[in-house]
Structure 1
Amino acid sequence: MTREEQKEERKKAILMTALTLFVEKGYHETKVTDIAAAVPMSTGLMFHYFKSKEELLMALVLMGKDFTKATAGGDGIPGDIFLKGMLDELFTYAKKDPYVANMFVLMAQARRAGMPEEVRKVALSVEAIDNTAKLIKKGQKEGIFRKGDPKLLALCFWSAFQGIMEEMTIDKSLDTPDSDWLLSILKE
């Protein structure tokens, strides 16, 4: 492994460790020394990769924001089929790797008051609900989805998913539900 590959591996280890600790303990309760000890590495070396805990949180939130861009897809695919495929993939990945559930929980935490303001702005700029609302509106015209405010339906849909991800971070043995259960929120 090259020196650059080692550096990237260490950076990834820091990010994944911080993600887990931020979700389990909370951002404010997690100390930089906790993250460094769990990696394991010295605190000084960790500051070589990230200048502050806030910079580390921002890196994670930017990853999470990038992850949600998939909700903008679906061109030419019926909305119910697109959302079912996305849910099936998310549930499959969430069972294999706690990163997925942890990222959803962290993104919800990052949106709350009391978080660093720049991080909060990025987290609040995620467009998953708006993207899904557009898909729902189109699906309503096609008779696929129930009538109602598309944005409110999208919010209900993603809130249910978010709740499942939060439970999966608490109970690692929890099985994922059938994606059709969540889609039924949107269908007549």
Structure 2
Amino acid sequence: MPRKSELNQELRDARKEQILKAALIVFARRGMVATKISDIAKEAGLSHGLVYHYFNSKEEIFSLLVKKAANSSIEIIQQANAFKGTPLEKLRWMTEQILNSFVDSEHTLLFLIMIQASTSDAIPAEVKELLTGDQSLSPVMCTLPIIAAGQEKGEIISANPVTLAVTYYAFIQGLAINKIQWPECPIPDANLLLKIFINEKGSSYHHE
């Protein structure tokens, strides 16, 4: 049987996850500046004091959510790089995974948190450092090797790869915002989203 200390740790971990999920909803709805710890506590169904027992501030909670969102994005790109296939097939697989994740509201809200963190001046210094520090950890920079490889192979159009990566994520973020504002929003399939990136002359890519 699990020891009491292990059970207590499981309870603490579950409680922290409960608070983080509630905070994700509140931050997405109200933004970090307008959000109060009491709002998060109410959403989580917990007392104000209990939230402070696990976290020092709303800024700490926001920072953790941004890290979670960033790590989630980088992880899917790493999986795409490991996917067997051509660069365009890797990009298509990654796009399918991202679009399919929009079925889960938590993933969609994490995209919105990243947008808030990228566009708001009133964010914790730790978050600013995370976003402006090591650019090799940003989704745009991590996607560049796939795009560049696709261009070398003639599968992806010849254009500035950074511009293409920025455009790609602008599509993704825009869809995430629409999905939050309009839950029934139809999400395009990967073929449609990738159409403007494909070099039709050099690609053996076929629509299904």
Residue 89 (structure 1) aligns with:
97
Residue ranges of structure 2 left out of the alignment (5+ in a row): 200-208
**1:141-182 superposed Cα distances (whole Å, 9 cap, x missing partner):** 101100010000111011011100111111112232111111
Q: Deviations over 1:73-97 (max 9, x none)?
A: 41453222112112212222211x1
Where does residue 177 of structure 2 map in the other structure?
Answer: 166
Matching residue of 1:146: 157
Match status 1:71 vs 2:77: yes
Distance 2:91 2:140 in 1: 12
TM-score (structure 2 length as normaliser):
0.84
Q: CA RMSD for the aligned pairs?
A: 1.6
- CA–CA separation in structure 1 for the residues paired with 2:97 and 2:47: 37
Number of the residue aligned with 1:41: 46
Indicate if the aligned counterparts of 1:17 and 1:38 stay in contact, CA closer than 8 A. yes
Question: Offset at 1:121?
Answer: 2.2
Distance 1:88 1:148 in 2: 23
Amino acid at match of 1:104: F
Give the share of equivalent positions with the same residue, in percent: 27
Q: 1:118 and 1:6 mapped to 2: Cα distance?
A: 28
User: Does 1:31 pair with 2:39?
Assistant: no
Amino acid at match of 1:108: I
Count of paired positions? 187
Distance in structure 2 (CA, Å) of the matches to 1:21 and 1:115:
15
Is this contact kept in 2: 1:61–1:123, CA < 8 A? Answer: no
Structure 1 CA distance for aligned equivalents of residues 173 and 9 of structure 2: 36
The secondary structure found in structure 1 opposite 2:196 is coil
Deviation string for 1:98-127 (max 9, x for gaps)? Answer: 011110110111122222222122134442
Is contact 1:23-1:102 (8 Å) kept? yes
Partner SS state of residue 62, structure 1: helix
Q: Does 1:182 align with 2:187?
A: no
Q: Is the Cα–Cα contact under 8 Å of residues 26 and 43 in structure 2 kept in the other structure? A: no
Deviations 1:8-28 (A, max 9, x none): 121111111111111111111
TM-score (ref. length: structure 1): 0.92
Q: Which 10-residue stretch deviates more, 6-15 or 135-144?
A: 6-15
Q: Which runs of 5+ in 1 are unaligned?
A: none
Higher Rg: 2
Name the counterpart of 2:116.
109
